[in-house]
Copies of this chain bind each other. A is one copy, B any other.
Amino acid sequence: MDRSEILLSFLKDYRDHYLPSVSLDLVIFGFHEGQMKVLLIRFKGSQDWLLPGGRVRKDEDLNEAAYRSLRERTGLEKLFLQQFQTFGKVDRLTHFSWEETLTKMGLKEPLESLGVDIASFWSRDISVGYYALVEYTKVNPTPDIMSDECQWWDIDQVPQLLFDHNDMIRLALKTLRRQLSYQPIGYNLLPEEFTMSELQSLYETILGRKLDRRNFYKQIMNYDVLERLEKRPTIPASKAPYLYRFKKERYEQLLNEEDLSVG
């Protein structure tokens, strides 16, 4: 199969098996060395970056599509994933053209000659925004068919992105920070067992500010969501800290109390 045939079958697959008019975008947050990162892709044959996204199969739940897309970009399963807003401005994809995109993807002949009338199944997209929290070191960033590169960016060095994607990141971060105040977070971001300062550092990174060690300890223990273990790993030049782990049932309970999302 030459490149155009592959594209043709890709387009037909889209038309036949995916919902038209609906897409989704992922704001994937990671944490590394005290820095908050976000995963971006570089658009095929271009210097422009944007958020990874996906589409919804006709036989697939919306949330499931988001999990699948996340898996495809990161190689990870069962992550913290949360819908935060649906974007639907008419002009949100200004400058996007299928024709041009397909050319960059390797289309040689004009589109009509392939016998696919794109306008008939694509007008414009409503996009459902999700944000995810992932463990940076476990991620294997993988470009999709429409991108050349997939990599982490420091959250405060994200360039001007295509479309409305800078807005999406801003709103995702804001929603995440608010959510942090009434939900426990960390289950999929930390190893099974972790120290209090690892957890605190995660919170500090998300919130973008320092927290008082003692107050943090009291608050988090008040949630009754952590279990302290007897193990105390030795750490160079310091007292051996306790390890903690999440009480699974309590953690789930807190999540569910605050979220009757039906995706």
A19 located at the interface, meaning its Cβ lies under 8 Å from any Cβ of chain B in the complex: yes
A12 located at the interface, meaning its Cβ lies under 8 Å from any Cβ of chain B in the complex: no
Determine the chain B residues whose CB is within 8 A of the CB of A262 once the complex forms: 85, 87, 89, 92, 164, 167-168, 171
Asked if residues B126 and A56 are in contact (CB atoms below 8 Å), the reply is yes
Cβ 8 A contact of A89, one of B62, B92, B128: B62
Determine the chain B residues whose CB is within 8 A of the CB of A83 once the complex forms: 85-86
A124 located at the interface, meaning its Cβ lies under 8 Å from any Cβ of chain B in the complex: yes
A174 located at the interface, meaning its Cβ lies under 8 Å from any Cβ of chain B in the complex: yes
Cβ 8 A contact of A88, one of B20, B63, B87, B174: B63
With contacts A21-B21, A86-B86 taken as known, whether A62 is within 8 angstroms of B126 at the C-beta atoms is yes
Q: Which residue of B lies closest to A174 (CB)?
A: B260
Determine the chain B residues whose CB is within 8 A of the CB of A58 once the complex forms: 123-124
Oligomer copy total: 2
Provide the bound-state CA to CA distance between A260 and B168, in Å: 10
Determine the chain B residues whose CB is within 8 A of the CB of A62 once the complex forms: 86-89, 126
Asked if residues A59 and B90 are in contact (CB atoms below 8 Å), the reply is yes
Contact with B along A158-179 (1 / 0, CB 8 A): 0000001001101100100000
Determine the chain B residues whose CB is within 8 A of the CB of A85 once the complex forms: 83, 261-263
Provide the bound-state CA to CA distance between A262 and B85, in Å: 9
B-binding residues in A (CB < 8 A): 19-22, 56, 58-63, 65, 83, 85-90, 92, 123-124, 126, 128, 164, 167-168, 170-171, 174, 260-263
- Contacts A19-B21, A61-B88, A171-B260 known; 8 new A-B pairs at CB < 8 A: A22-B126, A56-B88, A60-B90, A62-B87, A63-B89, A87-B262, A167-B262, A174-B260
